[in-house]
Every structure is written in C-alpha cells, then in structure tokens.
Structure 1
C-alpha cells in the first residue's frame, strides 16, 4: 500500500481494520451535485431624471460597482446575477421618495436575457436643503404588541411634536439605526406604522435582531430586511452632507451569534462611493454595532467583545480620513461619544426602547430617546431628546449619598457629555468650580434594574458602569446646590438641590 493511500485511510479512521477502498470509490463524485452560484453577467441601464430632464453626475450602483450618469442622465453598468438591487445615491436638492415614511431609492433586479432597465424619476425639493435636520432612532427593538403600541403611542408622537417646534417647512429625515424589531418579523408592520405617524422619510440600518436567524450564512441572514427595505448598504445626499449606511452585523450561522465586521464587498463599494465625494466634505455614516466603544474599559475587561465593536474598523477610519466624519450607531443601550483622531466623532446612541421597554431609562441612566442633528452647510450641531420630556432635559441630579462609595457627594448624570462640555457647580450662588467625572453606576438604574427580581419584564437587565457621572462635595450646612452644564455649542442647562445638613431632596 502506498504511503499516500495509507495516510488517506488513516485520516478516515480505516487503517488497522483490514479495509481497502476500490479506486473508483476514492474518486467518486458527490451523489448530489453542489449548487453552483450563478455568475452570469447582467447589463443594467437606465436614466435618472426630473421633469423629463436627465440629471448628470448621479451615482448608481449594484452594491458592487459605482458609476455616474452622463450629461443626459443615462447610466450603464455591467453587473452579475449575485446583485439584488440597482440603486442610486440620491443627489442633493431632491426629495426622498418614500412609502409611508419608508424610503425607496432602489429597484430589485429582474433580468431578461441578461439585461435589466431601471429608470429613476426624482422630484426637486421646493426649498434649498443646505440647512436640514435629521434624527437617529437606535433600537426600537419591539418584541411584543405591547412594545409596538408604546412605540406608536409615545415615541412617534414625541418625534412629531418635536418637529412641530421648528419653523414650518424645516427639512427632516430619520435614520432607523438597527434592531428595528426584536427577532419578531411580524412586528415590522408596527415599526412602519410608527414611522408613518412621525411622518418623515426614514432610512433603515440592519441590526442583529433584524436578521433571519435560520440562515446558513451571513448572506442569507438579510433576506427579510431586503424584502422590506431594500439594500443593507447605500448612500444618499442632502445639502452639503454625504450620508452612508453600512451593514456591520456579520452573522456566523448560529442563531443570535454575530460579530461586528465590514465585508470586503462593502468596503470596496464604500471606497468607490467616497471617491465621488470632495475631500474635506462632511460624511455621516450610520451602522448598528458601534465602530468602537470603551465599555470594556468601564467593565474592567481586557478587550471589547467581538459582537460589541467593528473588528476591522481601522479600514473604515482610513477611508474616512479625508473627510469630516460622524459615525451614528446604536446596539449598546447606553450613550457615549467616541473620538478617533481629529476628524471622526462616533455618536453611540441611547435607545428608543431604553432598557428594552422596561422603564424610562437605559441601563446607564440615559433616558429612552433619540439623537437630533441640526445641519447648517457642512456643520452639525446635536442634542439628545428624551422621550416625553422637553429637549432642555439634559441632566439628572442625585442627592448627597445617592451613589455608593460617595456618601458626601452630589452626583449628576450628563448623558450626552463629551470633553468639550463643562460641568460646574454653585453653592448659594457662589461658583465652586468644575465637578469631577468618575465611572460608577447610575442610582436610578440601580433602583430600577439591579437584582434578580427586576425589572419584572426582562430580569437579565442590570445597571452598567457609565463614565458620564459627575461628583461634587457640598458644605455640611444648609445650602442651595446648583449644577450648571454648558455643552460644546454654548447651550446652558441648570438644575438645583436644596441641601439641609447633608440631607437632600431633588428640587
């Protein structure tokens, strides 16, 4: 017996059993041939136009390659049968076509004899879009009709009311930043109904709870999302800002198992997409799993979990280096700002559902709510909007001793804090300086979430350390303790406590 044959039989566990295999058996083909992937070419073509006139320079893509329309608004793109959609990067100055607030900027490819024709008709905005606003809804994450009704009864009307506080005609769009539902695909209808109540066009990001959990690979996990909302990665433009949506949830073929990862196909597409954007421009990238957070540091862990950050984020950072970039993410159910170099700010958002619809806050004490962004030219300003509370609600003050280990200190949670904010305190009208930032558990989260019996709906919810808590030690006598917070844009927020010999109550 040859050495190669002996090695082969050993690998099958058949040596020493007196067995030999016939040569034809060793060379046999599988009884059922594997299904080959259809890589046949498909030529995509069409026209992008408004009021019968072609629009030049519009990016059109199949999710693999990007082309731009010619002077007559025409495009042609050689694609293949693995592409699901042909879609465009909506140019500035045009409306976001939508059906009951779900944006439609794509057509599913149905080739005939190797060709597919797709025209896109756009409608010009009645106003200049250099100034516009957008909101980020992270993790509505509804798992029941009860959750869905709360989303429609509280969150959607809150957004509608907020928009009505702006001058009539103010442009708004929304970004649903993933986990639109909680594995219950039948509730996507309720999510869409909530968007229709809010009444603005929404772009969707796929989250780990929006995937087909019985798929055998990542590619198959997005089928339902694509059926309802179209591509999982794409771009669009409004005013001077270029918006990108990415799919960074990589499903590994076992239910509820995933990592934060951007595929080569997406990165190659993104590189082409950004090549159409002038360096120095503002780019807003929305993805579900944060590119990065420091949660593992707060939890005293050596490194972040594979499902908690994007493993190959450095390549994303490299592609964004020529731009002023803002990353919009969710997933974590806490609020955090992360800075990467001088040009990238990541906004990790507190969630619409708070701590999974168990009460008014996320587990870091951030109220359930959403991010609001006001765009003027290439500049963004922002604030966090707590559902059901005025937009001025930007901090929560706790009395002396509310935080374990700080028995003589007042504590303040400033959830949208970043290093350009200033958190000061005054005692009886006298400025006492800045409060000290430390990592600790939010007292209200401890009250609502800590312990095996609570919250009653999802008992696994627990408080998590946050680094946007601030502390100061007041005098021992009667006094009025005032917290004054100035954000990076110069907005000032205040709250106060009346202290009586270290016994206090929130004013």
Structure 2
C-alpha cells in the first residue's frame, strides 16, 4: 500500500470492517462533540426570613419547576444551560445591585461534579403590591460619553423626579427595553450609573445594539449582555400582574444584521412559564423589536419601502397564540417612534411601541415622528393598567404639540396637532374663539418640527441619515378666516384631558 493511499484512507476515516488488515491506519478518531450533552443536577432553596417559599417558579431557561413546601427545588439541566433563576413571586422585593435586577445565578459546577447548588433569599415587601407602577426606557442607545452624559444628567434625573412625585412607599420598577447602548459595550457602565440615579430596580431587555457582532451565530451574540445582566428571557411577578421579558433579536452572523424572531427554545419555555398563570390575568411582555407596527402600512401609501425582517417579529402569531387566554400588553422599542398597535384579530392584546429616551439618536428633543424624547409610565391597580407618555423636561400633562395654520405644506389652510400617545379610544376636539367645533380629522403625515430638524442631507448635523417618519397621530382642523384663538383638547382613554392653545395672526 503506497504512502499516498494510506494517507487517503486515514483521512477518510474508513472503518476497520472494510479494511481489517490495517487497523492502525484506518481507525476512526474519537468524535469531538460541539457541545457538552451531559446533564447537571441543579438544586437549592428559595427562602424568605430563613423560611422556605413554596410554589416559586425556578428555571434554567429550558425547564420550569416549582419549589416544594419547604422551598426546595431540584432538577436535571443540560450542561449547556448558563443560568438558574427564579420568577420573583408577588409580595417580594426585586433583588438588585444599584438598580440592576439580580434574580439569577450563573451555573458553575465545581470540582468536576455535575451538580450545582444555588439558594435564593428574598425580602418580603412591607406592604401590599396589588397597586404599583413601572417605567419603560426604550433605546437609551448611547454611543459616546457625550450621549451618556445626557442620559445621566438629563433623562435619569427626570425619571427620578417622576418617581419622587409619587407618594412615599409607592412601588415602582423600570424596564430598559433594549438598545441600552449603541454597540459600545464600555458604555454599559454609564447606563448602569443612569439606572442607579432613578432609585428603582430595572429589568433589562436585549436589543440589536446590545449584541456581540463578532459572534458566529445567534447562540453567542448575547455573551456580553449576559455577563452584565444575566438571562435574556425570564419572568417576574408583582401584584396581580405577570411580567415576561423576551429576546426577539435573532442575529444572523453578519455584523448588524438580524431579524425579529422568537426561537423555539423561548416559546417552549414561555409555554411552561404561563402554564401556572390563571386565564384572564394580566400579562405584560417586554421585548425590543415590536411584535407588530403600522409602519409598513404607512410607508406603502407614499414611499413603497420594502418591509424589513428586522422591523417586526416574523413569528408573532405564536406569541399571540400563547397570550390568547390573558389580558396582554406588549412593550417594545426599536423604532424611535411612538405608537399603539391594536389588532382586531387579537383584541386581548395592546402593543405599546415606545418613543425613545434618546429621541432621534440624541440629535435633539424629539423622535422622528415628533414624539418628544421620553419614556412610558404605567400605573397598575390590580389587573388594570393605565398609562401615559412622559416627555423629558416637560410636565406629565404635556401630551400634544400644536402647530399654526400652514405648518404642513400639503394642508396650507389647516392647523395641526401631534398627539403622540393617541389610540382609537382618545378624542381630539377643537374650539374656535370659544365655540366648540367638534373633533379634528386624523390624517397621515410628517410632524412639522421633525421636518424642520431632520429633513435634508445635512440634517441633523450629528446624524445626517435621520429623516422624518410618517405618523398616524396628526390631527387637522381648518379655522375660519377671521378666527383669533384656537384651543385643542385631547381626552385620553382614561378620561384625562390635555389642552394647548394658539393665537392666530390678524388677517
């Protein structure tokens, strides 16, 4: 047998059954498995004041088990699982480190043993948590120390002032709804400092700009995020509300390329997680990329822009299916515009697509639909949730912006109001010189201030690629030729009335 032929056969790894005379040459090497397929025994207790807590959900992100009467849990987990963590039950404080929620332990078997023990100690709340509030920061998205300074010295103190405006003892928590930074992971420290300023615990959502762009697959794209903030999907409870955080940013292996998608592993976990939530309860799901928006519909009327796979969740129907038994709210960011999405096919779900903390990427005071830089505020009473949008630097009653006649060139005889947190249960009415004129007409268009600040190849100077975006929440009215004063009143679905006034120039 020639040297070349022996080398060829060895390279192929052909079995000794075919070539029994040359076992040393043709023996197949031991396969190198890409992952550890063994199991690790996870165990521990969930305690409060030294006593075990029963029926607390504990998970490795794959299995969901419940603690026994003494607070004990034990189950076998794949060796590839990274964390063991719990769904904090109602009535207990959220464990945190300077505001960053810490409800997990990284699985680290020691001494070659395939087992890991983790105990969790929870602190009972001093009062009932049936009524509580929460805040949603979408897209802080800091890329520089200058951006970080604005987050820490403007947005975070504004949030702290809102927190302090509630009566002492009010329970609040925050949700960082993804794109906490803009690909610069050294700025996670600044984000954490901003969170600490607010004085409330924050749970984090991973966004497309929080991913490791050098990862070869989605499986490892969250490594840095996990080192900082733990699991990318999990749940917790407060009062009568069950909160879920999901990772819907699926990295496809090319820098900054991703799709909106929920993996089977997450959906299977979510199915287990919701199994113990009674039908009819309120479930709040936070994710970065919206499950759905009206952007494609809006753009198709004028610009014929092709839909992006990274703009909404491709398999959202499965999320809707799992949420069908509940009163569900979906909280998202990513888009840098503000919108409420209600689907006639899924009447139990309302999606809150949030305007951003950074506005149009820290270029000025607004997002590119005219929504002010800001955050969502949600007030919970039992299973009912009321909400408003808090504009940074403004009182919480700042809920619309009124523009004079002619501000929109396509409607030269009309004045326009941008009511950014509008949904179909709002009513937007106007008065002319003290006389009621009925409801304004809602039409698709561009916010005039966004056009002024963002339209053109050189605007805005900081990020010239930012452009105005079409929005559904513009309202128009045509005053009489001799009108002197206009008042616009917007009444939200909760009966709160917000008004703005404008004096018209003398003819």
The alignment yields a C-alpha RMSD, in angstroms, of 1.7
How far off its partner does 1:302 sit? Answer: 7.3
**The residue matched to 2:242 in structure 1 has which SS?**
strand
Per-residue CA deviation, residues 181-229 of structure 1 (Å, 9 max, x unaligned), is 0000000000000011111000000000000000000011000000000
Secondary structure class of the residue paired with 2:167: coil
Q: Point out the more displaced range, 309-318 or 294-303.
A: 294-303
Cα deviation digits, residues 309-343 of structure 1 (max 9, x gap): 00000000000000000000000000000013220
For the pair 1:24 / 2:33, whether they are aligned, the reply is: no
Matched, 1:403 2:408: yes
Corresponding residue for 2:279? 279
Tell me the CA shift for residue 454 of structure 1: 1.1
User: Could you tell me whether the CA contact under 8 Å between 1:477 and 1:500 is conserved in 2?
Assistant: no
1:15 matched residue in structure 2: none
Contact kept, 8 Å, 1:173 with 1:200, in 2: the verdict is yes
SS in 1 for 2:129: coil
TM-superposition CA deviations, 1:216-243 (whole Å, max 9, x none)? 0001100000000000000000000000
Cα deviation digits, residues 90-141 of structure 1 (max 9, x gap):
0000001111000100000011311111100000001110000000000000
Question: Is the contact between residue 433 and residue 483 of structure 2 (CA under 8 Å) also seen in structure 1?
Answer: no
In the aligned structure 1, how far is the partner of 2:437 from the partner of 2:506? 18
Relative distance call for 1:170 and 1:431 in structure 2 (3 A) is: same
CA contact (8 A) 1:140 1:180 kept: yes
Taking structure 1 as the reference length, the TM-score comes to 0.93
Q: How many residues align?
A: 483
Alignment gaps of 5+ in structure 1 = 1-19, 503-507
TM-score, structure 2 normalization = 0.93
- CA distance in 2 between counterparts of 1:337 and 1:501 reads 38
In structure 2, the partner of 1:65 is 63
3-state secondary structure, aligned to 2:347 = coil
Provide closer, same or farther for how the CA distance between residues 447 and 410 of structure 1 changes in structure 2, counting only shifts above 3 A. Answer: same
In the alignment, is residue 332 of structure 1 matched against residue 335 of structure 2?
yes
Find out whether 1:123 has 2:123 as its counterpart: yes
The residue aligned with 2:160 is 160
Q: Structure 1 segments of 4 or more deviating over 4 A?
A: 20-23, 28-35
Equivalent position of 2:495 in the other structure: 490
- In the TM superposition, residue 391 of structure 1 has moved relative to its aligned partner by 0.2
For residue 299 of structure 1, give the secondary structure of its aligned residue in structure 2. Answer: helix
- The answer to whether the 8 A contact 1:333-1:363 is kept is yes
Are 1:432 and 2:417 an aligned pair?
Answer: no
Q: Report the CA distance between 1:23 and its aligned residue.
A: 6.9
Q: CA deviation at 1:258?
A: 0.1
2:382 matched to which residue of 1?
377
Question: Secondary structure of the equivalent of 2:77?
Answer: strand
User: Could you report, residue by residue, the CA deviation over 1:256-285 in whole angstroms, capped at 9, with x for unpaired residues?
Assistant: 000000000000000000001011000000
Unmatched runs of 5 consecutive residues or more in structure 2: 15-27
2:393 and 2:79 map into 1 onto residues whose CA distance is 48
For the Cα contact (< 8 Å) 1:151–1:194, is it kept in 2? yes
Q: CA deviation at 1:64?
A: 0.1
Q: For the residues of structure 2 that align with 1:345 and 1:478, how far apart are their CA atoms?
A: 39
How far apart, in 1, do the equivalents of 2:141 and 2:305 lie?
Answer: 29
Secondary structure, in 3 states, of the residue corresponding to 1:342? strand
8 Å Cα contact 1:58/1:88 also seen in 2:
yes
